[in-house]
Amino acid sequence: MTVVDQTPSEPTDARGRVAELHSLREQARRGPSDRATEAQHAKGKLTARERIALLLDEGSFREVEQLRRHRASGFGLEAKKPYTDGVITGWGTVEGRTVFVYAHDFRIFGGALGEAHATKIHKIMDMAIAAGAPLVSLNDGAGARIQEGVSALAGYGGIFQRNTKASGVIPQISVMLGPCAGGAAYSPALTDFVFMVRETSQMFITGPDVVRAVTGEEITQNGLGGADVHAETSGVAHFAYDDEETCIAEVRYLISMLPSNNRENPPVHQTDDPADRRSDVLLDLVPADGNRPYDMLKVIEELVDDGDVLEIHERWARNIICALARMDGQVVGIIANQPGHLAGVLDIEASEKGARFVQMCDAFNIPIITLLDVPGFLPGVSQEHGGIIRHGAKLLYAYCNATVPRISLILRKAYGGAYIVMDSQSIGADITYAWPTNEIAVMGAEGAANVIFRKQIADAEDPEAMRARMVKEYKAELMHPYYAAERGLVDDVIDPTETRGTLIAALSMLRNKHADLPSRKHGNPPQ
C-alpha cells in the first residue's frame, strides 16, 4: 500500500485531533510503502525501525521529530514529503542506560541527506552531548540529496563539527549497514568505533565507476570498500560481522563496556571469577625461549574475568592486540604485543592502532594494562620511507599524555626503543612488573655482542666460539631477569601464576589516581 502525502483535514474536536495524531504517527512508523519494506528485506537488510528495536531495550525508544518533513521544492520534491524525511532519531536505553540513536531509512529517498534530515541529526547529536550519553548512528544512506544542492552539503558539515565536539566527551559508535560514499564517510571516521556488515555495507570516497574512469582499475564495491577490506587492510572498521543481528548485538556489548561520558567510570559488573585466582597454565602458554612464538590472546583470556575479551581491530595490524575486558568486575583496556604474528614487532600500522586505543581509554577513564614481549621496531626501507618515526611517535605521545592508571608487565623480550614506547616506567607507567623470563635490553644479546665485541670476535682463532662466549657473558651481566629490578626500572619481578591477583591489586590501589596535564589549549601530536 502506497501512502499519499497530504495535509490532513482539520478535526473538529479533541478526540478528532487525538485520532489524527495517532493516524499520522502510524503513517510515519509504517514508512513509504509495503513494497519499499519488501525491497529492503530482499537485500538482506532490516528497516531502520527494526534495527533500532534490536539495539535498544524493548519498549524504551522515544522518537524525536517523527513528523518532520522537508520544505524543498523543485525536481519533484514538492509532491513527495514523507514523514521523518528519511531519518529516525531519538533515545532509549541499553541495559538500562540512556543511549541516543539516529538511523537512516533507506526506503525514503534512499536515506539521502537533505536539510531537514540533517537538522534532525544535528538536534539528536546536541541532545546526546548535553545529556552526556553515547550516540549510535545506524548508517544506510545514499549520501547528499542532490535535489537540495548545497543545503545538503552544509548538513554534513554540521554533523562533522558535532562529531568533533563530542570526541572524547561521549562514546560515538558508527554502524555501517548500507552504502556510505563521498564526504559522508568522514563522519564514521571521526567517531570512536566503526562496525560493518559483510556484503551489505561499503565505505569509500570515490566509487568503482570513478576509479575505473580515472585509473582504469576494475573493482567491485565490496572489493573497494567492503567490510573485510576495512577490517583487514585499511583499518577503517574496528569490527566486521556476517549479519545485522550479530553486529547490533555486539554494539550493545561494546556499550556495556564504556562509560556514558568522560566524567564517569565504566560500569562495574559483579563476577564469580576470584580476584586471586592462580593461573598455572601461564607457565606453559609462554615459552621461556624468546625465539618461540605463542598466542598472547590466550594469555589475556587467562588473566581477565571469565576469559571474556572484546578485541578491537582484531584483523588489522595483528602484531599488536588492543582489547577491552574486565578484571574483578572493572573494565580495563589491554594493549599487548602478539608474538604469534611478526614476532610482535611494532610497525606503522601497529603504532597507529595502539595510539588510537590508548587515547580512547584515556578519554573514557579506562585503566590501561600493557603486556610487553617486543623485539623492537620492524626494520626495512618501506617502514622508514613510510614514516615509522612519525607513526611510532604517535604511540609514544598517546602513552605519555594518558592520565588514567597505567600498569606494565614484561613477559619476555623488551628491546630498544620499542620497550620505551610500550609504556615503560620512564614514560610514566604507574607501576611496572616483570616475569622472571624477562629480558630488558637495548637489543638482543647476539646483536649486542656483535657490536661490543666485534674486534675480539674477529681476532679470535675460533670466531664462532668467541661469539657464543660473548653472548653468554652479555646475557649474564646485562640481561638477567633481575638486572632491571636491581636498578629500579621495574617495581617487582612476580610469579607468573600470581599475575591476575597482582594486577587486580595494583588496579585497586590506582583506582582514585589523579593526574593533571599542563594548562594548554591542546597538544600537537605527531601526524
Alpha carbon distance 431, 429 (integer Å)? 6
Alpha carbon distance 21, 64 (integer Å)? 15
| Residue 48 backbone phi and psi in degrees, to 5 | -60, -40
Alpha carbon distance 300, 323 (integer Å)? 9
C-alpha cell at 388: 615509522
Alpha carbon distance 380, 387 (integer Å)? 11
Considering 110, 149, 183, 387, which one is annotated as catalytic?
A: 183
387 catalytically annotated: no
Considering 112, 418, 445, 485, which one is annotated as catalytic?
A: 418
Q: Is the separation of the CB atoms in 334 and 373 below 8 Å?
A: no
Alpha carbon distance 168, 527 (integer Å)? 18
Q: In this structure, which amino acid lies at residue 459? A: D
Considering 417, 447, 460, 468, which one is annotated as catalytic?
A: 417
Alpha carbon distance 117, 111 (integer Å)? 9
C-alpha cell at 300: 589475556
Q: In this structure, which amino acid lies at residue 527? A: Q
Q: Is the separation of the CB atoms in 323 and 334 below 8 Å?
A: yes
235 catalytically annotated: no
132 catalytically annotated: no
Alpha carbon distance 415, 400 (integer Å)? 19
Find, among 233, 226, 235, 219, the residue nearest to 204 by Cα.
Answer: 226
Alpha carbon distance 400, 406 (integer Å)? 10
**Burial class of residue 148, CB neighbours in 10 A (0-12, 13-18, 19+):** buried
Considering 182, 207, 235, 387, which one is annotated as catalytic?
A: 182
182 catalytically annotated: yes
- Dihedral angle computed from the Cα positions of residues 358, 101, 313 and 410, in that order, rounded to the nearest 10 degrees: 30
Residues identified as active-site: 182-183, 417-418
